[in-house]
A and B are shown apart, each in its own frame.
Chain A
Amino acid sequence: MAMLKRLIFAAFIAILGTLPLATAQLQVVVDRADLKPVPVAIPNFEAIGVDPEVAQTISDVIRNDLESTGLFVITPEDAYIQKDLNIEVAPRFADWKIIQTDALVVGTVEQIERDGNQLIRGSVRMWDVYGEELMRFEDSNGRQVSGRRFTTTPEDIRRIAHKIADAIYSRLTGEDGYFDTRIVYIAETGPRNARVKRLAIMDADGANVKYLTSGAFTVLTPRFSPTAQQITYMSYEGGIPRVYLYDLRRARQEVLGNFRNMTFAPRFSRDGNSVLLTQATNGNSDVYLMDLQTRQSRRLTDHPAIDTSPSMSPDGRQIVFNSDRGGSPQLYVMNTNGTPRTCPSGGRDIACRITFGSGRYSTPVWSPRGDLIAFTKQSRGRFHIGVIGIDGRGERLLTESYLDEGPDWSPNGRVITFFREPSPGASPTLWSVDLTGRNLRPLLTSTDASDPAWSPLLD
């Protein structure tokens, strides 16, 4: 009998563990909500010993950076009730709740002298209006700090703004920002039958455009190193299309590798130590991996079909590429070391096809987050930028137009940039779209532009 009771007791205790907590109070479950832009107020930073225009510029750039993401809506200045803000004093939260601002950014811009140099210093704090508390930042060393402060020369005040915008973005979204970055692209000028294509670089918000090549030779498909200020691209200099490496710090370019044949479609590995590229030999294209230190290359694919546009996973263990080995251009994933793998569609193979939809897939790019692959898809006469899981599941088309092509990820894997020709013969322009398909917007450039590629966050 005692044994029986123990048995029942044990069963009872086991059952108790499976029960939800017995609570008497009301329970409210909300599993999803419509994504709403976060209202953020960014009053003009206080100018201390500097031209108010400088503070105004920094404030404007921060607001523009954040609003451009589509994740934030900037509270208009004429809605402010409290005007007497001070970075060292807590705001009157009630005044900001009335105008339904979630976060309040307060900052100063001042001129300081250091080692005989006149510098500009920007400081910022952010307040959680409804929580009525300071929102702490994480500094570049991972420490929790009550505010951020950046110092630079007067010529680079925009970078102060981008740094501050990145800090705010990171604090509010949980991921790194991408404002203090650059975008390299192909600047196109001249008539279509005599197009001049130059390598150009600009800040991520379109400012500070510079040209890196003269236009004497056509250049295509620039790609930024994810770890260094280096660009790899294809140039027709010398008559044969070859992959080049451009070092931005030294402003020097060099042919990459000693390939006898045409090389194209380069892309850095995630660690920046090697470059994936395609070499065409007698009409057959295969993917190679070149070590940038030893300059030794290794052939990764060996197939009579056209294998091209390789991109490496963040951990370096896999690559995705485009191949017509199945009859039409589709995306394939393989291990970088060439070992067989179990394919999502069944069976084991060296390379596994991951796209099976109608249409032609090309220019795959592995997300820095590692979970998605962006691609160009041509279907029924229209082009799309889309994303798909690395196992081939969850394909989503984010854009559609006459010609959308050449996607590349922002360094945080949140935004995709690409170029678009809206109609036959129309000028190509740069665009960006959020990973979710929201916030499609143009990136304004002073010339026609194509083949954008995002830099990593600047130091």
Chain B
Amino acid sequence: MIRGLPASIIAHAAVISASYVTFPYWSTNTRVMASEFEAVDVNFAEIGEITNIAPLVETEPEEPEEEVAPEEPEEVPEDPVEEELPEAEQDVAEAESAPPEENPEDLLPDFEPEETEPEPEEAEPEPVKKPDPAPRRPNDDLMSFLNQSESTFRSEQATRKERPEPKPVTPEPQTALENAPKPAETRNRQGAGERSANSARLEAIIVSRIRNECWAGADDLPNPERYNVQMNLKLNEDGTISELTLIDPKRRPIGSSFMGTAVDRALRAVRKCEPYRLPSEDYEEWKEIDFYLGLGFSGQ
């Protein structure tokens, strides 16, 4: 009992310090939330105008002789007269019908453009690793690891305290662009706080475009909060896409499904917004973007 007390105190202290360390992650939000936008009510009458719904196909004029007594079998076709192709022909030449000039295997999950190559910078660090001069005892590794972790966490905490809150998303992309820092201002920018504020500005520009121009959302799907898509986008300096990778889900579900539709829409949105016209002096900040599209990301 007496021996257990110090252990209990230590355990509690560990949990409390853990919370102290991790709460900033939870409370500090460096992402720009689209939910900060006011939802725009869509009047169904306006939608009707927008979609320019054409009048229905004219019904055939009522003809008295068409009136059919209940007994007449020809009132409704006895069998479905429409005939689907036999299985072998159902696929419009699955092998040979694929466009001869492109992609004989047009699998949707393959989202990587042909020119995509692994970044050499990321591959390099491995060879740089130096062999340990001498074998270390596990405890030494542990202490070193813990010391490094403590140092990292303290540094990160200090940074986060200085980091300003993201600014509200500007609704119009043009306005956001106008408000983007001028080259002269950004050139001398320094410090993590300012960098974060700039990131928020960049994010606001992108969010606004995706939301207003490129993404159809998923609100029309049943339980839309279930259909969330995470992607990683690598951009060239001219704002064109060099690589688009589906992160979660890792690939589009095969066939017709709500998740498949959500993935299609998300990928299409990111591609449709290309090129991303962002301040070139901030290229280092926007050359790689993690996209989170979906109602399930609300509040994150």
Q: Interface residues, chain A, CB within 8 Å of chain B?
A: 2, 4-9, 11-12, 14-15, 18-20, 23-38, 60-61, 64, 67-68, 70-73, 87-90, 100, 102, 119, 121, 123-125, 128, 130-153, 155-156, 159-160, 163, 170-175, 180, 198, 201-202, 205-215, 229, 246, 248-253, 369, 371, 433-434, 436-447, 458-459
Nearest neighbor of B260 in chain A, beta-carbon distance:
A174
A19→B25 contact, CB < 8 A: yes
A35→B216 contact, CB < 8 A: yes
A205→B256 contact, CB < 8 A: no
B83→A32 contact, CB < 8 A: no
Given A20-B25, A67-B51, A211-B67: A28 and B81 within 8 A (CB)? no
A7→B14 contact, CB < 8 A: yes
Number of CB contacts from chain A to chain B under 8 A: 355
B90→A128 contact, CB < 8 A: no
Q: Which residues of A lie under 8 Å from residue B296 when comparing CB positions?
A: 31
A31→B108 contact, CB < 8 A: no
Expressed in whole angstroms, the Cα–Cα distance for A2 and B45 within the complex equals 71
B31→A28 contact, CB < 8 A: yes
Given A70-B51, A439-B44: A174 and B221 within 8 A (CB)? yes
27 CB < 8 A contacts A-B = A9-B142, A12-B149, A28-B32, A29-B34, A29-B297, A31-B295, A32-B298, A34-B40, A34-B42, A35-B216, A37-B47, A38-B216, A71-B220, A130-B272, A131-B268, A145-B90, A145-B91, A149-B89, A149-B92, A152-B82, A174-B257, A174-B258, A175-B256, A202-B59, A438-B44, A439-B48, A445-B59
- Identify which of B56, B68, B139 contacts A212 (C-beta below 8 A): B68
B270 to chain A: closest CB distance in Å? 9
Given A147-B92, A213-B70, A444-B59: A33 and B210 within 8 A (CB)? yes
Expressed in whole angstroms, the Cα–Cα distance for A441 and B51 within the complex equals 12
- Identify which of B44, B94, B223, B286 contacts A146 (C-beta below 8 A): B94
Expressed in whole angstroms, the Cα–Cα distance for A8 and B142 within the complex equals 10
- Identify which of B11, B47, B210 contacts A7 (C-beta below 8 A): B11
A303 to chain B: closest CB distance in Å? 33
The contact string, 1 if C-beta is below 8 Å from chain A, for chain B 245-258, is: 00000000011111
- Identify which of B48, B259, B262 contacts A441 (C-beta below 8 A): B48
A440→B76 contact, CB < 8 A: no
Q: Which residues of A lie under 8 Å from residue B107 when comparing CB positions?
A: 136
B156 to chain A: closest CB distance in Å? 9
A125→B57 contact, CB < 8 A: no
B256→A174 contact, CB < 8 A: yes
Given A7-B10, A27-B292, A28-B32: A89 and B211 within 8 A (CB)? no
A251→B35 contact, CB < 8 A: no
- Identify which of B62, B146, B207, B259 contacts A28 (C-beta below 8 A): B207
Interface centre among A27, A88, A206, A437 (most CB of B within 10 A): A27
B69→A447 contact, CB < 8 A: no
List CB contacts (< 8 Å) of B205-222 with chain A.
Answer: 206-207, 210-212, 215-222
Q: Interface residues, chain B, CB within 8 Å of chain A?
A: 10-11, 14-15, 18, 21-22, 25, 30-35, 39-40, 42, 44-45, 47-48, 50-62, 66-73, 75-85, 87, 89-94, 97-103, 106-108, 110-111, 139, 142-143, 145-146, 149, 199, 202-203, 206-207, 210-212, 215-223, 232, 254-262, 264, 267-269, 271-272, 285-300
Nearest neighbor of A210 in chain B, beta-carbon distance:
B75
A439→B106 contact, CB < 8 A: no
Nearest neighbor of B11 in chain A, beta-carbon distance:
A7
A47 to chain B: closest CB distance in Å? 17
A28→B292 contact, CB < 8 A: yes
Expressed in whole angstroms, the Cα–Cα distance for A146 and B93 within the complex equals 8
A261 to chain B: closest CB distance in Å? 25
Expressed in whole angstroms, the Cα–Cα distance for A64 and B87 within the complex equals 29
B261→A174 contact, CB < 8 A: yes
B18→A29 contact, CB < 8 A: no
Expressed in whole angstroms, the Cα–Cα distance for A36 and B297 within the complex equals 20
Query: 14 new A-B pairs (CB below 8 Å) besides A29-B292, A156-B82, A447-B62?
Result: A23-B290, A34-B217, A70-B47, A73-B51, A130-B268, A146-B93, A149-B85, A150-B85, A172-B261, A174-B261, A205-B57, A208-B60, A209-B59, A212-B75
B98 to chain A: closest CB distance in Å? 6
Nearest neighbor of B37 in chain A, beta-carbon distance:
A32
Given A29-B300, A207-B57: A134 and B103 within 8 A (CB)? yes
- Identify which of B39, B54, B59, B289 contacts A64 (C-beta below 8 A): B54
Interface centre among A25, A72, A155 (most CB of B within 10 A): A25
Expressed in whole angstroms, the Cα–Cα distance for A368 and B50 within the complex equals 29
B55→A444 contact, CB < 8 A: yes
